[in-house]
A and B are shown apart, each in its own frame.
Chain A
Amino acid sequence: MMQLIWNGIIVGSFYALVALGYSMVYGIIKLLNFAHGDIYMLGAFVGFFTLSSFGISNETSIPLLLVVLLLSMVTTGLIGVGIERIAYRPLRRSPRLAVLITAIGVSFTLEYGVRQIFGPNPEAFPIRLESSGFEVAGVRVTASQLVLVIIAAALMLVLAHIVERTRQGRAMRAIALDPQGAQLMGVNVDRVISTVFFIGSALAGAAGVMAGAYYGSIDFLMGFIIGLKAFTAAVIGGIGNLYGAMLGGLLLGLLESFGAAWFGGEWRDVFSFAFLILFLTFKPTGLLGARVVERM
């Protein structure tokens, strides 16, 4: 029971990291960025590429993992900014469907671009988590699992601080509420949107590296399912809401962990997407997505 919870928290924190970028981008430009899951995949491949260029494999060093994590985050962050510049910004005033279709196009471009470079077969991720660990309240916890969860939590705390307390964060929330109103405050909307893409993509990249180390193997389509899962997590929490994405990610991780244990692993995805449908039908604003009534 406790083991299921712990496993759910680990996977849930990956989902939460990816869902955050999904939700932030939706919040600020109302785009469902279907390429977001592929940024997670790119994060894993940037880590893979860097490590294998140095001839590293089968490593278990946690400091090395942190270095690679940081490098992947910066790289995927910049890629995210580039994607917005090239693919989404020219369509800022176009119908939303056009941007949505473009996002799917970007997704395919990333997936099959990586396939061209690294081939279709799964690759073994060069850093692995050691399996020795300790028991807490009947739960097997390894040091590296703990590190992953702590990193994820730290990243979310930093993000919450940026959004809640800084000038840039205020500008982000202002654009999400009223883009034109934000411009009248002198907010450089283009720059803030770029920042959001950087942060969101960096978080997805981090999740990619962490997942590579956690699952041990990576492939060019690994971002597809997690993109959908992150979308589900964002919807469960209330899309556009930061804490909603975190909560939704964790809940989804837990739901899957229990669902897979009770109904069998092959039901895992059915279980999550059934929840997506339930939420979209009965509570499309999600758990934390309630609107404030406006008085005039």
Chain B
Amino acid sequence: MTTLEVADVEVYYGRVHALRKLSFTVGEGEIVCLLGNNGAGKSTTMNLLSGLVRPKSGRVTWDGMDLATAKPWDIVASGLIHVPEGRRIFSTMTVHENLLLGGYTVRDRRAVDERIERVYELMPRLAERRRQQGGTLSGGEQQMVAIGRAIVGGPKLLLLDEPSMGLAPLVVKQVMEIVAAINAQGTTVLLVEQNARAALKIAHRAYVVETGSTTLSGPAAELARDARVVEAYLGS
């Protein structure tokens, strides 16, 4: 069942035409991946979905909510949670405080505490470093905090923007395993990646984004064999 629908969306930054008739859908329980190079419009798409960027025209709906007009905090409260590119950890706050902020919109404090415990079980490294300032963690640990923060918010749809950026291959593998585990527990995932190889391993479907539009789409396994994708994103 389709839960997120983006249809014919146009986004401009001043005179720069960032998204051109962008369309794609994400179904409940899926991991969908957007592939594309720098500047293709992937992060703009993510910011569009979390209400930080507004479309000039087109339709963006999620679970009956109009994302083109909804306030960012209402979007988060509805369960659409965006883990931004570069992780954006609150650097002078502790790991624990970062996780608590992830539960900012959750009124039930017990639920927040339970989810934080779950995050610590899923990522024991964070439990060890709960009192440490976020900015002192390694890149991989920061990425875990960023994902953990999102889990505490109780996501129904998780947006992940370049979670593998700047991480060592082994750490990328760990992060992708965590993402697959979160999905297995029922959370829908929209993943934006330049690391196509890692992303296509866990995704169900994928879209290729080029200059602000989707040009190719299909099941991840098929795209991983598609000659055009192999040449442009997987290397030989």
A294 touches B90 (CB 8 A): no
Taking chain A's interface residues, is the majority helix, strand, or loop, or is none over half, making it mixed?
helix
User: How extensive is the interface on chain A, given as a class?
Assistant: 20 to 34
Give CA–CA (A183, B84) in the complex, Å: 11
B73 interface neighbour in A170, A174, A188, A296, Cβ under 8 Å: A188
**A-chain residues with CB within 8 Å of residue B111 when the two chains form the complex:** none
B153 within 8 A of A: yes
Residue on B nearest A169 in the bound complex, by CB: B97
A180 within 8 A of B: yes
B93 interface neighbour in A167, A177, A184, Cβ under 8 Å: A177
Give CA–CA (A296, B73) in the complex, Å: 27
Given A177-B92, A178-B88, A184-B72: A292 and B136 within 8 A (CB)? yes
Query: Of B14-22, B101-109, B116-124, B222-230, which stretch is located at the interface?
Result: B101-109
A184 touches B135 (CB 8 A): no
A184 touches B138 (CB 8 A): no
B37 within 8 A of A: no
A30 within 8 A of B: no
B29 within 8 A of A: no
Given A170-B93, A171-B101: A187 and B73 within 8 A (CB)? yes
Q: Which of B48-91 contact A (CB under 8 A)?
A: 50-52, 71-73, 75-77, 81-82, 84, 88, 90-91
A292 touches B92 (CB 8 A): yes
Give CA–CA (A170, B94) in the complex, Å: 11
A186 within 8 A of B: yes
Residue on A nearest B92 in the bound complex, by CB: A292
A173 within 8 A of B: yes
Give CA–CA (A187, B100) in the complex, Å: 12
Contact with A along B140-176 (1 / 0, CB 8 A): 0010000001000100000000000010000000000
In the complex, which of the residues B50, B73, B137 has the most CB atoms of chain A within 10 Å of its own CB atom? B73
**B-chain residues with CB within 8 Å of residue A292 when the two chains form the complex:** 91-92, 133, 135-136
B139 within 8 A of A: yes
Give CA–CA (A181, B102) in the complex, Å: 11
**A-chain residues with CB within 8 Å of residue B97 when the two chains form the complex:** 170
Give CA–CA (A180, B43) in the complex, Å: 14
A293 within 8 A of B: yes
A186 interface neighbour in B73, B92, B93, Cβ under 8 Å: B73
Given A174-B93, A177-B90, A295-B136: A183 and B104 within 8 A (CB)? no
Give CA–CA (A180, B82) in the complex, Å: 11
Residues of A with Cβ closer than 8 Å to B?
A: 167, 170-171, 173-174, 177-178, 180-189, 292-296
Given contact pairs A174-B90, A180-B52, A189-B73, a sample of 20 additional A-B residue pairs in the complex whose CB atoms are under 8 Å apart: A167-B100, A170-B104, A173-B93, A177-B90, A180-B88, A183-B52, A184-B50, A184-B82, A185-B102, A185-B105, A185-B153, A186-B72, A186-B73, A186-B75, A186-B76, A187-B104, A188-B71, A295-B136, A296-B139, A296-B166
8 shortest interchain CB distances as A-B pairs: A186-B76, A186-B105, A181-B88, A183-B72, A188-B73, A294-B135, A186-B73, A185-B101
